[in-house]
Amino acid sequence: MSTKIIKQKTRRINGFSHHEIGDDHLCTGLDTPLKKDAFAISDAEKKNKISMLFEEIMDVMGLDLSDDSLKGTPDRVAKMYIDEIFSGLNPKNKPKIALFDNKYHYNQMLVEKNITFYSNCEHHFVPIIGKAHVAYISSGKVIGLSKLNRIVQYYAKRPQVQERLTNQIGEDLKAILKTDDVAVIIDAKHLCVSSRGIKDESSATVTSFYSGAFNSPAKVNEFNNYLK
């Protein structure tokens, strides 16, 4: 009988191991960390591999995979990961955005508030549940209102850190709308805080992105007044 020796990886960040860092909140940059060959295999191949690996995880935990309730779980998890909750990792799923002339000549801020989103913390792979509020001032072009929601959902559907999510939405809206005048506020509950670790069920995390005209205190106050 062979014996497997499992070596635990110890990664170091700024001189500290990931065990020493523990639950500390880390964000390594604006871009979601992806391997260079992240899309070398098809979604179907990814789902097949994830299903096999998740079946192994369930087996290690001692679950009976012959049980009618559990036997389909590996496939369900694989499908959920690739087609649903992490579908924002694949650029092919980015929403198609069409720009239109601002024929109404509306030159005040447009606010889309209370956009509900579900994401997942990249540190523990448990849900982040929140509301996004976005605003922009047209530079001559506008987009359909639902596209603001779709942009939020696209970036939320990947393993995330809230600060990165906020900045990704803000920067992409600037590029799409061809304007610097963009604002984003995200108010979210992290289940890695409320369901494990410190188990604080009442706290929430708020992050913001202000650019262009929204660097003015008056515009920030106006934006916040819309949210009240």
Residue numbers annotated as active site: 121-124, 162, 190, 192
- Reduced to 3 states (helix: H, G, I; strand: E, B; else coil), residue 181 is coil
Site of tokens 């995880």: 57
Residue 142's contacts (CB-CB under 8 Å, 6 or more residues apart) are 99, 100, 101, 102, 106, 110, 177
Region at 16 (left for phi over 0; alpha for psi -120 to 50; beta for the rest) = beta
Q: Could you give the CA distance from residue 193 to residue 22 in angstroms, rounded to a whole number?
A: 13
Give CA separation, 195 vs 124, 172, 176, in Å: 11, 32, 37
Q: Could you give the CA distance from residue 62 to residue 50 in angstroms, rounded to a whole number?
A: 18
The number of residues making up the chain comes to 228
Site of tokens 């603001």: 148
Pairing mode of beta strands 182-190, 109-121: unpaired
DSSP state of 20: H
